[in-house]
């Protein structure tokens, strides 16, 4: 349920939404990330970077955080407007980072086996992983 100190971003409320509370900033209702969201985040990232092929690391990082928050936010604190934040105030960047960090921590907590060592192929660090494809791949002709 939305409180009087929250504003809706226009995104539809769903049962899969979740909340993150960020100290000294407020409560955010965020959407569970879907494949469609991932595409929308990519499109928003492109808008924010204005299509620059190789943005600076700072621009890439900030655009990633802002795009994620803009797409996934369902309700935000009443005084939160990411587009109107003061770009000359370091606190603006700190607030964006703290909310993004809370979002990612919560998303990571949904992943099964978080913090456990995974034995799945392709997820090891420096291990000699077995090849999972057949040595001879059959050729089909018509």
Tens-place pLDDT, residues 88-138: 999 999 999 999 999 999 999 988 665 554 455 444 455 544 545 445 555
Contact 67, 45 (CB under 8 A): yes
Residue ranges covered by each domain of the chain: 6-110
pLDDT in the model for residue 116:
55
Average pLDDT rounded to a whole number, residues 2-18: 87
Stated pTM of the model? 0.75
Contact 2, 8 (CB under 8 A): yes
Tens-place pLDDT, residues 27-71: 999 999 999 999 999 999 999 999 898 999 999 999 999 999 999
> Of the candidates 2, 3, 6, 1, which has an alpha carbon nearest to the alpha carbon of residue 77?
6
């Amino acid at each position: 349920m939305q409180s009087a100190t929250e504003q809706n971003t226009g995104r539809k409320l769903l049962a899969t939404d979740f909340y993150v509370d960020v100290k000294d900033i407020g409560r955010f209702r965020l959407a569970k990330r879907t494949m469609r969201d991932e595409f929308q985040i990519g499109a928003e990232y492109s808008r924010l970077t204005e299509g620059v092929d190789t943005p600076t690391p700072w621009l890439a990082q900030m655009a990633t955080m802002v795009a994620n928050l803009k797409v996934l936010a369902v309700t935000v604190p009443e005084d939160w407007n990411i587009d109107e934040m003061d770009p000359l105030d370091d606190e603006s960047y700190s607030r964006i980072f703290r909310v993004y960090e809370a979002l990612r921590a919560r998303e990571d907590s949904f992943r099964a086996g978080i913090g456990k060592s995974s034995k799945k192929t392709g997820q090891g660090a420096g291990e000699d992983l077995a090849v999972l494809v057949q040595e001879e791949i059959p050729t089909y002709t018509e």
